[in-house]
Structure formats: C-alpha cells, structure tokens
Amino acid sequence: MQELLDIITFKTIISKYVLIIFYYFGAIVIPLFMYKYTHYIYTPIKSTLPRLYTLFILLFLFAEILWRMMFEFLIAFLQIRDALLT
C-alpha cells in the first residue's frame, strides 16, 4: 500500500519504466509506418523496386537511431535527476 501511495504522491517516479515500454512499442510501430509511407511515395513499378527497398531501409535505420537516441537521452535525464535528489 505504501508503494501505491508513493506513486500517487510522486515520491516514486515511474517514468523510466514507462519510457522503456514506449520505446519497444515505437520500435515495432516505426517500421510499419516507414513501409506504408515508402509505398505511398513510390508506386511499386519494377524499375523503382530496388529504390523503394533502399529508401525503406535507409528511412528505417535513420528513424530507429533517432528513436533510440531520444529515449536514451530521456532515461539519462531521469538518472541525473535521481542522482541529484539522493
């Protein structure tokens, strides 16, 4: 019961755990959006098919790296906050 009270009164921060859940959710959803928008940009014609796959792979890698860096920054920020409060 004390843990629930600590969460409600913001003595315990749950952000770190929630951020990890959102990271994995986004890591699964981002490829689906990249696939959808690469098909929206290019119509699948045989001559553009290699470009479509190359564009998809490049967009996917770029988005995943940015997604990971954003969450690493947020988690590091929370760890700094925890270190300053203790």
Q: How confident is the model over 43-67, as pLDDT tens digits?
A: 666 667 777 788 888 888 998 999 9
Structural domain boundaries enclosing 81: 14-85
51: nearest Cα among 41, 36, 65: 41
Mapped onto helix, strand or coil, the DSSP state of residue 50 is helix
The Cα 64–Cα 73 span in angstroms is: 14
- Between 81 and 40, the more confident residue is 81
pTM of the prediction?
A: 0.70
Contact 6, 58 (CB under 8 A): no
In a domain, 8, yes or no: no
| 82 Cα distance to chain centroid | 22
Instruction: Report the domain count for the chain.
Output: 1
Question: Length of the chain, please?
Answer: 86
Q: Is residue 4 included in any domain, yes or no? A: no
